Amino acid sequence: MIALVLFLTCLFVAVAVGALAAWSDMKGLIIPNWHSGVIIASFFAAFALMQLLGHPGIFASIWSHLTAALIIFAITATLFGLKTIGAADSKLSTAYAFWAGVAGLPAFLFYMSVVGGLVGLGALALQKWQPVKNPAPGGWVARVQAGENKVPYGVAIAVGALASFVKLGYFDGAILTLLGHS
């Protein structure tokens, strides 16, 4: 039972902090660094605890998780260098890549891309029709309606991470039952 509680605590911390990052990005196009740090720390805590409590099969090898983070960091750092994404987006997606591992990367990238595209289309619609009267000053909606080409990609990253968690089975009944019986 202790393994289940600890695993779910780490997992829900990662999900909740992702929601905070998405909200912060929507409010002001800022994702504080501590969000990425907490997500990384929650992964390493969950990984270590599952190893110590006799459930190493919950995660892939540490090398899979490190490789995934390195791949995502290399891609997003390049995109940051090309001025296509922000540094915080790079850090947040790299943090979630630790949780995804190599096996979770396809789902993470697919859903992140789809949601990112939808948010981008939303930004275009906001620019064209300006449907929000009196948006919060400094917020994403206000900035986009004023003509800036900005997308709060933290939303897409958080949704992509959650989709990869589901795909990896982190919420699967069999895994949760296994952890609950230890």
Contact 86, 80 (CB under 8 A): yes
Other Cβ atoms less than 10 A from the Cβ of 50: the count is 20
- Percentage of residues in the chain with pLDDT exceeding 90? 94
For residue 45, with 0-12 CB atoms within 10 Å meaning exposed, 13-18 middle and 19 or more buried, which class applies? middle
Euclidean distance between CA atoms 47 and 119, whole angstroms = 32
Q: Could you tell me the residue range of the domain that residue 86 belongs to? A: 2-180
Q: Which residues contact 110 (CB under 8 A, 6 or more apart)?
A: 160, 163
Q: At what angle do helices 2-28 and 173-180 cross, to 10 degrees?
A: 130
Q: Quote the pTM value.
A: 0.95
pLDDT-based confidence at 181, cuts 50/70/90? confident
At residue 86, φ and ψ (nearest 5 deg) are -85, 160
Contact 20, 33 (CB under 8 A): no
Euclidean distance between CA atoms 70 and 83, whole angstroms = 20
Q: How many structural domains is the chain composed of?
A: 1
pLDDT tens-digit profile of 104-134? 999 999 999 999 999 999 999 999 999 999 9
